[in-house]
């Protein structure tokens, strides 16, 4: 696309944009085809390296869609969401939030505190202030900038080692300390003059040091934080290559006066000025575009003010494709009308519209989820949602609520797949019984337990929407999960967790449970269904899987053995989980100790060999469950042993000899069974498992069959390992 007749640095120009980049800039030429922007000016999209939020949202809410959309509409095309002085977990949540946003792009994060001086905390929350902690900081991904007070113990080492741009701020440091910090690598001052000592002619402080060393200075040029003459003083001392305009905007930006939350404290916004209850200014309510225009009004030449809000901040954080109109740079552009008001915004080569599709979809989904979640007993004010891409059956979201004290409480909201679970009410009855039974046991272990919330209207642990959509809400447990895991201790832990789960249910009366999916792990029946689907071949896909069919036929007898033994009464039924993928174990974020088992939909009478088998086919494989490159797929016997030690170690006392002897067979059986289930779904039109692409079920099935083949070749080893584990107990 060619944008024609735009004034660029005073020259009438045509700008070519291709694949999100600027690919040509030429003097305007009447013969060039394209959209004409007569009388309009083009500048780079603004880059805000210090913003806490806008439009009602704060970076600490860990949701960026609304912020990103509002910033984009107001000319900021990329930014560093800036965190507040708060606890580690709250900051970590921000860095883990979804960054696939419709508007302004996230270039990384700016961490403002907690390594700051209490005396100059400004609107930061003093409760969370602490000394620099390098290990903690390094565990937070994509921190591009950090504001610290250099007088704190450990600062100099932190500045040298932290790997981010260090900006000095919220500091009481004197000139000499700041010079030392700059020599150690500090590169910037944070909202210069605000939250630091000013300049005294014999005591020049941080600003004197910044002048001396010619580092970058951030300035909030909203007309409130700095007197216009001070804006000019900074401009004259530092120039457009060193002075960076920031907004330091907070969540009230774009909204009316009122009371808002900021870093866990109440903030009063009156006549657009935000203050804490002690009167400290608490960020601005201006966008970067407004700040830039203010700087121009105070006397900064237009082109220099633009540079200070675009190229200079981009250079400071090493974003060399941002903040400039040059061939090869990202096509983030603002088109201004004759009064220098914002007319059009382009991000990555695409014009931003009020009715942006991605944003609209997000907002629609949000409204639905807000409505559904409100049916349950929840506390706080709904902030936003995020999809959790896990599980092949149900659809799972995290929904976040802001509490009165400013903290965020998350819940899990899940839509149950009623194609798979024909009778979800029975599932919820099972879950109620099972969680009640488990809660009593888990309490003693001081571990978190799953809790399903009830609806306000009917006191059910589920809510059915008009169209029949079936929803449930449960507590969110902060944790990590693994799809693959190389650490043997963690795998052993997962085994122990599933083993413990089974033990905890050993005194549970199985007759109370509904069968949620009949014949779920009846492998013999699964095979029958498969061969019937091959016969019918309703999608015409059987011919391409001839090889797979042959393998399954060959192993039909073997894969049916466990079911036969069960039918003959040679194996006891126990209450089992039946879906023991290791990503159904939640682990502690720091210690990787297992916290709890999730996904209780299929808790039913079953065989422990199936639970063992399902877990090892998932976790002891050398590849993910749907790896297309079969040469990568095999059973890792070390991982297998680790899981066996954990799982069998916990339940061995209760196992019969027949169960021990068929443990390895359980792994082979369930791997073939799952391949058969994926293939049956493929043959019948992909209705059961969620798929991410055409042919996904076939890829999954082939991967499971490759794994089953490898297991068959290692069967003797697998059996020996089980014997060793049992013998060693
Ligand atoms: C399904 O929903 P999810 O991803 O936990 C399936 C399991 C399969 C698994 C394969 C109710 O589990 O049986 O092993 O996919 N659950 C159901 O990834 O069919
Ligand atoms: Mg499941």
pLDDT digits (tens, 9 = 90+) for 65-114: 999 999 999 999 999 999 999 999 899 999 999 999 999 999 999 999 99
Q: What is the pLDDT of residue 2?
A: 96
Radius of gyration of the chain (CA): 30
The ligand minimizing its distance to the Cα of 392 is 1
∠ Cα 325 327 331 (to 5°): 55
In terms of Cα–Cα distance, which of 643, 647, 390, 360 is closest to 500? 647
Task: Determine if ligand 1 sits within 6 Å of the CB of residue 599.
Answer: yes
Q: What is the pLDDT of residue 405?
A: 74
Q: What is the DSSP letter of 402?
A: E
Strand 11-18 versus strand 2-8 pairing type: antiparallel
Task: Determine if ligand 1 sits within 6 Å of the CB of residue 66.
Answer: no
Give CA–CA dist 59/7, Å, rounded. Answer: 35
For the stretch 115-139, pLDDT in tens is: 999 999 998 989 899 999 999 999 9
For the stretch 564-621, pLDDT in tens is: 999 999 999 999 999 999 999 999 988 899 999 999 999 999 999 999 999 999 999 9
Ligand 1 mutation pick, 388, 390, 392, max ligand atoms within 8 A of CB: 392
pTM to 2 decimal places: 0.83
**120 vs 263, which has greater pLDDT?**
120
For the stretch 28-38, pLDDT in tens is: 998 989 999 99
∠ Cα 331 333 336 (to 5°): 160
Give CA–CA dist 470/425, Å, rounded. Answer: 9
For the stretch 323-363, pLDDT in tens is: 999 999 999 999 999 999 999 999 999 999 877 888 999 99
Q: What is the pLDDT of residue 59?
A: 95
In terms of Cα–Cα distance, which of 598, 555, 532, 513 is closest to 713? 555
Task: Determine if ligand 1 sits within 6 Å of the CB of residue 602.
Answer: yes
Q: Please identify which of the residues 248, 315, 400, 611 carries the catalytic annotation.
A: 248
Mean pLDDT of 165-170: 98
Q: Is the pLDDT at 212 greater than 90, yes or no?
A: yes
Q: What is the DSSP letter of 569?
A: T
Give CA–CA dist 715/665, Å, rounded. Answer: 8
Q: Tell how far the Cα of 473 is from the centroid of ligand 1, in angstroms.
A: 20
Neighbours of 717 (CB within 10 A): 15
Per-residue confidence band for 203, with pLDDT thresholds at 50, 70 and 90: very high
Q: What is the pLDDT of residue 408?
A: 83
Give CA–CA dist 288/683, Å, rounded. Answer: 56
Q: What is the pLDDT of residue 183?
A: 98
Q: What is the pLDDT of residue 728?
A: 80
Average pLDDT, the chain: 95
Q: Tell how far the Cα of 585 is from the centroid of ligand 2, in angstroms.
A: 12
Q: What is the pLDDT of residue 135?
A: 96
For the stretch 412-450, pLDDT in tens is: 999 999 999 999 999 999 999 999 999 888 877 788 999
Q: Tell how far the Cα of 391 is from the centroid of ligand 1, in angstroms.
A: 7
Q: What is the pLDDT of residue 446?
A: 82
Ligand 1 mutation pick, 396, 421, 579, max ligand atoms within 8 A of CB: 579
Question: H-type helices in 568-654, by residue range?
Answer: 608-619, 637-651
Task: Determine if ligand 1 sits within 6 Å of the CB of residue 393.
Answer: yes
Give CA–CA dist 321/331, Å, rounded. Answer: 9
In terms of Cα–Cα distance, which of 54, 50, 49, 83 is closest to 68? 54
Q: Tell how far the Cα of 601 is from the centroid of ligand 2, in angstroms.
A: 7
Tell me which residue has its CA closest to atom 7 in ligand 1.
Answer: 579
Q: What is the pLDDT of residue 32?
A: 86
Q: Is the pLDDT at 389 greater than 90, yes or no?
A: no
Q: Tell how far the Cα of 637 is from the centroid of ligand 2, in angstroms.
A: 25
Cis peptide, bond prior to residue 114, ω within 30 of zero: yes
Q: What is the pLDDT of residue 355?
A: 75
Q: Tell how far the Cα of 458 is from the centroid of ligand 2, in angstroms.
A: 27
Instruction: Tell which atom from ligand 1 comes closest to the C-alpha of 583.
Output: 5
Ligand 1 mutation pick, 393, 422, 481, max ligand atoms within 8 A of CB: 393
Q: Is 248 a catalytic residue?
A: yes
The residue whose two tokens read 């540079």 is: 307
The CA distances from residue 123 to 68, 127, 260, in Å, are: 23, 12, 13
Instruction: Tell which atom from ligand 1 comes closest to the C-alpha of 614.
Output: 14
Q: What is the pLDDT of residue 263?
A: 78
Task: Determine if ligand 1 sits within 6 Å of the CB of residue 46.
Answer: no
In terms of Cα–Cα distance, which of 561, 554, 552 is closest to 532? 552
Q: What is the pLDDT of residue 260?
A: 86
The CA distances from residue 337 to 13, 40, 78, 545, in Å, are: 15, 5, 21, 62
* Cβ–Cβ under 8 Å, residues 514 and 423: yes
Instruction: Tell which atom from ligand 1 comes closest to the C-alpha of 602.
Output: 11
Give CA–CA dist 380/375, Å, rounded. Answer: 13
Q: What is the pLDDT of residue 30?
A: 87
Task: Determine if ligand 1 sits within 6 Å of the CB of residue 392.
Answer: yes
Mean pLDDT of 558-568: 97
Instruction: Tell which atom from ligand 1 comes closest to the C-alpha of 578.
Output: 13
Q: Is the pLDDT at 406 greater than 80, yes or no?
A: no
Beta-carbon contacts of 279 under 8 Å, excluding residues fewer than 6 positions away, are none
The CA distances from residue 54 to 69, 72, 87, 712, in Å, are: 10, 11, 22, 59
Mean pLDDT of 626-631: 97
Q: Tell how far the Cα of 602 is from the centroid of ligand 2, in angstroms.
A: 7
């Amino acid at each position: 696309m060619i944008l024609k007749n735009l004034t660029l640095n005073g020259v009438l120009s045509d700008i070519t944009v291709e694949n999100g980049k600027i690919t040509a800039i030429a003097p305007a030429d009447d013969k060039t085809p394209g959209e004409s922007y007569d009388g309009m000016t083009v500048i780079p999209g603004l880059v805000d390296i210090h913003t806490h939020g806008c439009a009602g949202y704060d970076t600490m809410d860990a949701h960026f869609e609304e912020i990103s959309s509002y910033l984009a509409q107001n000319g900021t095309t990329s930014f560093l969401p800036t965190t507040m002085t708060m606890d580690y977990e709250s900051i970590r949540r921000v860095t883990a939030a979804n960054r696939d946003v419709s508007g302004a792009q996230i270039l990384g994060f700016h961490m403002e505190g907690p390594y700051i001086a209490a005396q100059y905390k400004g609107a930061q929350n003093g409760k969370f202030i602490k000394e620099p902690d390098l290990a903690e900081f390094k565990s937070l991904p994509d921190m591009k900038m950090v504001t610290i007070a250099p007088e704190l113990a450990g600062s100099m080492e932190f500045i040298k080692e932290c790997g981010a741009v260090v900006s000095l701020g919220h500091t009481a440091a004197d000139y000499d300390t700041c010079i030392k910090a700059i020599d150690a690598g500090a590169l910037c001052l944070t909202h210069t003059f605000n939250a630091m000592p000013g300049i005294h002619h014999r005591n020049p402080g941080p600003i004197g040091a910044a002048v001396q060393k010619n580092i970058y200075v951030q300035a909030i040029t909203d007309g409130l934080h700095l007197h216009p003459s001070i804006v000019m003083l900074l401009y004259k001392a530092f120039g457009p290559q060193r002075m960076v305009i920031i907004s330091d905007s907070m969540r009230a930006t774009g909204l009316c006066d009122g009371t808002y939350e900021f870093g866990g404290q109440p903030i009063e916004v009156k006549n657009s000025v935000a203050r804490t209850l002690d009167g400290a200014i608490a960020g601005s309510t201006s966008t970067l575009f407004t700040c830039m225009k203010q700087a121009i009004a105070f006397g900064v030449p237009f082109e220099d003010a633009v540079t200070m809000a675009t190229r200079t901040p981009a250079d400071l954080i090493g974003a060399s494709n941002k903040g400039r109109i040059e061939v090869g740079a990202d096509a983030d552009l603002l088109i201004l009308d004759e009064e220098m008001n914002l007319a059009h915004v382009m991000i990555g080569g695409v014009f931003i519209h009020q009715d942006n599709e991605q944003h609209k979809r997000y907002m629609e989904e949000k409204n639905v989820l807000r409505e559904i979640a409100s049916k349950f007993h929840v506390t706080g004010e709904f902030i936003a949602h995020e999809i959790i891409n896990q599980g092949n059956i149900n659809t799972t979201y995290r929904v976040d609520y802001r509490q009165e004290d400013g903290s965020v409480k998350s819940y899990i909201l899940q839509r149950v797949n009623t194609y798979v679970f024909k009778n979800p009410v029975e599932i919820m009855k099972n879950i109620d019984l099972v969680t009640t039974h488990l809660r009593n046991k888990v309490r003693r272990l001081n571990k978190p337990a799953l809790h399903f919330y009830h609806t306000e209207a009917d006191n059910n642990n589920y809510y059915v929407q008009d169209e029949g959509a079936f929803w449930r809400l449960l507590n969110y447990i902060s944790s990590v999960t693994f799809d693959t895991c190389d650490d043997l201790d963690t795998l052993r832990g997962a085994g122990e967790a599933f083993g413990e789960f089974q033990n905890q249910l050993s005194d549970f009366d199985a007759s109370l449970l509904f069968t949620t999916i009949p014949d779920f792990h009846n492998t013999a029946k699964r095979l029958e269904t498969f061969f019937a689907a091959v016969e019918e071949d309703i999608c015409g896909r059987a011919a391409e899987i001839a090889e797979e069919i042959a393998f399954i036929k060959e192993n039909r007898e073997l894969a049916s053995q466990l079911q036969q033994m069960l039918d003959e009464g040679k194996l006891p039924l126990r209450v089992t989980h039946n879906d023991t993928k290791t990503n159904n174990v939640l682990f502690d974020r720091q210690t990787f100790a297992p916290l709890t088992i999730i996904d209780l939909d299929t808790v039913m009478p079953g065989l422990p060999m199936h639970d063992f088998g399902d877990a090892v086919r998932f976790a002891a494989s050398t590849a993910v469950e749907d790896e297309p490159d079969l040469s990568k797929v095999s059973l890792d016997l070390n991982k297998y042993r680790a899981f066996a030690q954990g799982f069998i170690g916990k339940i061995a006392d209760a196992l019969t000899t027949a169960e021990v002897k068929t443990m390895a067979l359980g792994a082979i059986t369930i791997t073939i069974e799952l391949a058969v289930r994926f293939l049956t779904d493929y043959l019948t039109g992909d209705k059961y498992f969620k798929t991410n692409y055409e042919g996904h079920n076939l890829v999954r099935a082939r991967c499971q069959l490759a794994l089953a083949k490898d297991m068959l070749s290692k069967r003797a080893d697998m059996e020996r390992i089980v014997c060793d584990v049992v013998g060693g107990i």
